[in-house]
Amino acid sequence: MTETLMDLAVMLRRDADESERHHMAVLAGRLGYIAVHIPADSNVPVTAEEMARLVDAAAPAMVVVDDGTATVGMVRGRDLDAVRAARTVLDGSEDTRPLIVALPLSIGRTVNEATARADRDPRFVGDQDPRRTGIFGTFEQAQQDMLDLAHAGAEVVLVTVPHETDIADVLAQVKALVVGATPTLFRR
């Protein structure tokens, strides 16, 4: 079994149609993500029948309806102090849920590619701009961000990835951030 630094989950787009949701669920399950999050306020409602198909497609990942509200064990954004504080709260309680950090992400082979991906996605503005509150840059820069999150106490990273035609490549790059050499780097 491959050693993993942290688990990954992926947030689907609010305006994703049934076909795109199914495709993302299949990819997430095959790449070893632990969950697929569907925004509760999706522009295209999810029927009970579709939810059943998504659960099958995402297996072994779970499908979660995410209402976007604050909850114990969830930090939204890459604020390491907030992650440490949430870790302290969870460690001081009987709560056994994992600490999830939800954030936007845009990575590329170069900073220019990461910039282009972020600039093309209309969701990545203000507090949802990965340059401000998420993971952004080259693979190596993103890898360092993941290491920082793990050192702060994160156990799951819930990513909002750019809407790209090469989404399978993007999800695979994100997975590569938490496997391979990254766990070894964490132990140093």
Tokens representing 20 are 């795109």
The Cα 140–Cα 91 span in angstroms is: 30
CATH number of the domain that 32 lies in?
A: 3.20.20.30
pTM score:
0.93
Residue 186 has pLDDT above 90, yes or no: no
User: Rounded mean pLDDT of the chain?
Assistant: 92
State how beta strands 135-138 and 74-76 pair: unpaired
State how beta strands 35-39 and 74-76 pair: unpaired
pLDDT band at 135 (very low <50, low <70, confident <90, very high): very high
What average pLDDT does range 42-63 have in this prediction? 92
Is residue 72 one of the residues assigned to a domain? yes
Q: Which residues form the domain of 55?
A: 7-187
| pLDDT for 168 | 93
Is residue 1 one of the residues assigned to a domain? no
**Contact by Cβ (8 Å): 103, 159:** yes
Is residue 106 one of the residues assigned to a domain? yes
Residue 1 has pLDDT above 60, yes or no: no
Residue 95 has pLDDT above 60, yes or no: yes
The letter for the amino acid at 142 is: A
What average pLDDT does range 30-58 have in this prediction? 92
Domain count, the chain: 1
